Amino acid sequence: MPRQREASPLLSLPGAVPAEAPDEGVAAHYGDLFREQRALADGRGFVDLSHRGVITVSGPERLSWLHLLLTQHVTELPPGHATEALILSANGHIEHALYLVDDGETTWLHTEPGDEEPLLAYLESMKFFYRVEIADRTPEYAVVHLPAGSIAEAPKDAVVRETAHGRDLFLPRGELEPFAAANGPAAGTLALEALRVEAHRPRLGLETDHRTIPHELGWIGTAVHLQKGCYRGQETVARVHNLGKPPRRLVFLHLDGSEVHLPPHGAPVRLAADGPEGRQLGFITTSARHHELGPIALALVKRNVPVDAPLLAESTAAAQEVVVEP
């Protein structure tokens, strides 16, 4: 039975509004979505991601063992160097997305809320005789995101994962409230999601379904290393890479700003020329309100949808930008 996670103590901050699935347990916003977005874009504030799962892998063979399981090349991952990786099914479909950093003794990773338990079970099943120790650290550590350009100092006992998009801190849960008090303003998950959509970055469970392969989302290169050895699902990765024909592709959409309603996850995408009763060619994965761009979205559409074709998201007009080349 999945563990019931306690709500973040930062939901007691002024103006905090709880987030909905898949981000239950933390704040969606603190009363001013666009102000929070602008703060993050300017390198100020932080985002409480304490609902995400945290797993550690330690032991002398941790990197060589992880290398056998992941889509990423990690055998010589330098301490402090951040990377991301996927775990695929035998058919090459995405099952888990991991965001990693190694501190020289332990590999730290965070994953989607609730995914730590099935991920932990899979890792334990693949342990065999390797000298590794796997632990669910979610009860002890919270993830906090600092935007790119932030000058906030990480506590000495935090593990830092730094990328071009900012820093993820693995912070002892007892330090969450003192950290928030010293490093505001707090921004909610909706602000971070809007910036994620703007950056065309996929997220497990939103941009993925049971048959998604990495090529459809642009995860080749960032999370999938094409020159490494065997891992589960590699045959599909190699075949689709060589043929160059993933069945679907991720697109970025500018939605009609006159619409009050944002199309939800799963909303159908059609050609505008066919009208709202036309054949469905894809679906909305994430929609957001951006402080500069207005209503925007990511969507997964069939590969052969013309790249310049005006689209409809439900009944909302949408102009597309290419994320993954057809």
Query: What domains can be seen in the chain, in order of their start residue?
Result: 9-52+140-199 (no CATH), 53-136 (3.30.70.1400), 247-325 (2.40.30.110)
pLDDT in tens, 1-45: 455 678 999 999 999 999 999 999 999 999 999 999 999 999 999
**Cα separation, 272 vs 303, whole angstroms:** 17
The percent of residues above 70 in pLDDT, for the chain, comes to 98
Confidence of residue 326 (pLDDT cuts 50, 70, 90): confident
pLDDT, position 277? 92
pLDDT, position 259? 62
Nearest to 301 by CA among 310, 291, 292: 310
Cross-strand pairs, 250: 300
CB 141 within 8 A of CB 172: yes
The CB-side HSE value for 321 (13 A sphere, CA atoms) comes to 12
pLDDT, position 4? 64
54 class by beta-carbon count within 10 Å (0-12 exposed, 13-18 middle, 19+ buried): buried
Section 283-295 average pLDDT: 96
Nearest to 257 by CA among 290, 300, 298, 301: 290
Section 278-299 average pLDDT: 97
Block residue for tokens 């007892």: 174
Block residue for tokens 């820093």: 167
237 has pLDDT over 80: yes
* Tokens, residue 251: 């697109």
Q: Under 8 Å CB-to-CB from 174, ≥6 apart: which residues?
A: none
Amino acid at 317: A
pLDDT, position 244? 79
pLDDT, position 269? 98
> How many residues in total does the chain contain?
326
CB 161 within 8 A of CB 145: no
Nearest to 107 by CA among 165, 65, 49, 139: 65
pLDDT, position 3? 59
pLDDT, position 323? 96
Pairing of strands 186-187, 46-49: parallel
**Cα separation, 288 vs 112, whole angstroms:** 19
Mean pLDDT of the chain, nearest integer: 95
Block residue for tokens 């501190």: 103
228 has pLDDT over 80: yes
Confidence of residue 258 (pLDDT cuts 50, 70, 90): low
Section 192-208 average pLDDT: 98
Section 195-222 average pLDDT: 97
**Cα separation, 192 vs 213, whole angstroms:** 24
Distances (CA, A) of 95 to 51, 82, 140, 213, 293: 19, 21, 25, 10, 32
pLDDT, position 1? 44
pLDDT in tens, 90-136: 999 999 999 999 999 999 999 999 999 999 999 999 999 999 999 99
CB 244 within 8 A of CB 326: no
Query: Which ranges of the chain would DSSP assign to H, the alpha helix?
Result: 33-41, 62-69, 116-125, 176-182, 189-198, 234-243
